[in-house]
Amino acid sequence: MDTQLEVDSVIKMYGETTILADVYLSCVPGDIIGLFGRNGTGKSTLLRIIFGSLKGDRSCIRINGKIQKQAAYRSGLLGFLPQEGYLPNNLSLAECVELLLGKEYRKDFFADKHLFRIRKSKVSEMSGGEKRYAEIKLILWGKAPFILLDEPFQGLSPIVSESIREHIKIASQSKGIILTDHNFREVHKCVNRIMLLNDCYLKELREPNDLIPFGYYENE
């Protein structure tokens, strides 16, 4: 069975307001999909429905051809970076890595100028940028073949953002990745597919210039 994530027939409403209407999305290893759309169009909502931490009014999530009857994260085949982060504040970074990463990868994980010096620091003692970087790298180095990243570049310096883009590109050699971020310029630097959420519907665009009518790059 080919490795594939399929998100089909997603509908989400809040009261009388439709946020997502009949959304379809497919992702395979090698894909780095940038999810674009104005604030409030449902990008984070869609990622949470895919992961299974939010229930859609209707949705069908298939992974490797198998319909996920329970929340998809229970399959172990999805990794998700939420906007609010996920590492426990009372643990050190080294303890988090020990819990979340196989022993054979830990030494190489810390062979990193951004992380080696803070490996013994508690998560609560790390800066927002340090924490974000560690969270993203842990997810990308995990076993899940599909990765969802919500605002990965939030709070990161240009230098650290460059490192994250490189990690994303390396991970995409064996994983399918879907990400969204307000810093759309950083997203454009690493994605190879562009999807736009507009008026509740999702459609694929051919190139970044197709986003101009939707308010991107309009002041440049």
pLDDT digits 0-9 by tens, 52-73? 999 999 999 999 999 999 999 9
What pLDDT was estimated at residue 122?
A: 96
User: Tens digit of pLDDT for each residue in 117-172?
Assistant: 999 999 999 999 999 999 999 999 999 999 999 999 998 999 999 999 999 999 99
Calculate what percentage of the chain has a pLDDT beyond 90: 85
Give the full edge-to-edge strand order of the sheet including 5-14.
17-27, 5-14, 58-63, 66-67
3-class secondary structure per residue, 34-98: EEECCCCCCHHHHHHHHHCCCCCCEEEEEECCEECCCCHHHHCCEEEECCCCCCCCCCEHHHHHH
Q: Which helix (H) or strand (E) holds 158?
A: helix 158-171
SS3 for 25? strand
What pLDDT was estimated at residue 207?
A: 85
What CATH superfamily is the domain 5-84+147-214?
P-loop containing nucleotide triphosphate hydrolases (3.40.50.300)
Domain boundaries, the chain: 5-84+147-214
Question: Amino acid identity, residue 214?
Answer: F
- pLDDT at residue 216 greater than cutoff 90: no
